[in-house]
Amino acid sequence: MAPMTLHPDSIAVHAGREDLASLGVHALPLDLSSTNPLPDLEVGGMSYEVLATGGHPFEGGSNVYARLWNPTVARFEEALARLEHAEEAVAFSSGMAAITAVLLGVSHESGKRHVVAVRPLYGGTDHLLASGLLGLETTFCAPDGVAAAVRDDTALVVLETPANPTLELVDLRAVVAAAGDVPVLVDNTFATPVLQQPLELGAALSLHSATKYLGGHGDVVGGVVACDARLAAALRRTRAITGAIMHPLAAYLLHRGLATLPVRVRAQQEGARVVAEWLTTRPEVSRVHFPGLPGCDPEGLVGTQQAGPGAMIAVELAGGYEAAAALTARVELFTHAVSLGSVDSLIQHPAALTHRPVVSDAKPSDALVRLSIGLEDPQDLIADLGQALTATARTNSAAMSNAG
């Protein structure tokens, strides 16, 4: 009998759980073993070699050691790969561990040491590439500069869409075409597999800071990369050597979180749409960055490349840095904190925090504040932002009067 063709919402609920009934359980199992029994020395040695070089466990073998393989992590990887339409996925202890493994693994496999990075990027990724810490040379460019930046020794093109923190959308098909034979890595954290599948658009790797929407509750840190089987083997080998495998408890929480991912993303997206439209009416706000607003998606990528605008908003305050800082201090329902994608709404100032290490000419505006919209009623979020903006405007007006 042919397998059922499932809607992504159904895949989110059932992927990675297909054998639970045969195990006699309904909830996901959690394997916390740090080490595993060896059948005998020969089989144990063979198991170690296979896993340490990026392979999968074999029948009759052993998982050997948790740095090499863990069944709970593997279940989450299988589920995420299904959602991303990928052959495999590889999970890491953090998003930064994931991008580091990609850079090390792909450059080692190709023997090339040059990377093209499309700005803007997440501040941590930008800093890692700019620092030269991994021994790689990076050329930063805009999306339309990729073809000119690619060289014979280019191992990878790195981009993020929607971009962090300005929510700019990058045409993936255009970048893939410009990259030619060079593999393209897409940071898909903001969009999630619910709204965008980069591999279907020609990218070689789709990366997530799983800490964000995949987990969705602000209680787990992780990273995951979806790709083909050949690249996955290279990433697992890098992961085994560097010890960057995801902890099984994190994988358990993330796998559990996938079941509600489509529902959460769509609800948060609709809330963000309401909040973004309201923000455009406020005199304290000079600009709203949200792909669902007129003018924020000039290439028409929402609806063609990306199924919806997402739930992130960036606003530039007319009062500059002082107004931005005051807004983050005066909100009450929003939590002033880094990160994003949680069920509760967060607010942060990227230039001072997540993008602080980025070079000045690539850093976001000091007037820009980033909002991650959660599952609260959007009218409550609007009321909170309204009181904070009004209080800030009054303070600024009083200060100007006193100065006069």
42 is a domain residue: no
Burial of 29 (0-12, 13-18, 19+ CB in 10 A): middle
Q: Do 274 and 254 sit in the same domain of this protein?
A: no
Q: Which of 191, 224, 258 is the last residue of a domain?
A: 258
Q: Do 194 and 307 sit in the same domain of this protein?
A: no
Q: Do 237 and 293 sit in the same domain of this protein?
A: no
- Encode the chain (404 residues) as per-residue pLDDT tens digits: 456 689 999 999 999 999 999 999 999 999 999 999 999 999 999 999 999 999 999 999 999 999 999 999 999 999 999 999 999 999 999 999 999 999 999 999 999 999 999 999 999 999 999 999 999 999 999 999 999 999 999 999 999 999 999 999 999 999 999 999 999 999 999 999 999 999 999 999 999 999 999 999 999 999 999 999 999 999 999 999 999 999 999 999 999 999 999 999 999 999 999 999 999 999 999 999 999 999 999 999 999 999 999 999 999 999 999 999 999 999 999 999 999 999 999 999 999 988 888 888 888 899 999 999 999 999 999 999 999 999 887 766 555 555 55
Burial of 21 (0-12, 13-18, 19+ CB in 10 A): exposed
Q: Do 148 and 270 sit in the same domain of this protein?
A: no
334 is a domain residue: yes
* pLDDT value for 362: 82
Q: Do 190 and 214 sit in the same domain of this protein?
A: yes
* pLDDT value for 1: 47
Q: Which of 223, 258, 293 is the last residue of a domain?
A: 258
Q: Do 99 and 225 sit in the same domain of this protein?
A: yes
Q: Do 372 and 242 sit in the same domain of this protein?
A: no
Contacts for 25 with CB less than 8 Å, ≥ 6 apart: none
Q: Do 111 and 191 sit in the same domain of this protein?
A: yes
Active site residues: 67, 122, 187, 212
CATH code of 17's domain: 3.40.640.10
* pLDDT value for 403: 56
Distance of alpha carbon 400 from alpha carbon 395, whole angstroms: 9
Q: Do 346 and 298 sit in the same domain of this protein?
A: yes
CATH code of 333's domain: 3.90.1150.10
Domain housing 113: 8-33+70-258
Q: Do 216 and 304 sit in the same domain of this protein?
A: no
What is the phi-psi region of residue 286: left when phi exceeds 0, alpha when psi lies from -120 to 50, beta otherwise?
Answer: alpha
Q: Do 116 and 153 sit in the same domain of this protein?
A: yes
Number of compact structural domains in the chain: 2
CA 213 to chain centre: 8
For β-strands 285-289 and 312-317, DSSP reports them as: antiparallel
Q: Do 247 and 315 sit in the same domain of this protein?
A: no
174 is a domain residue: yes
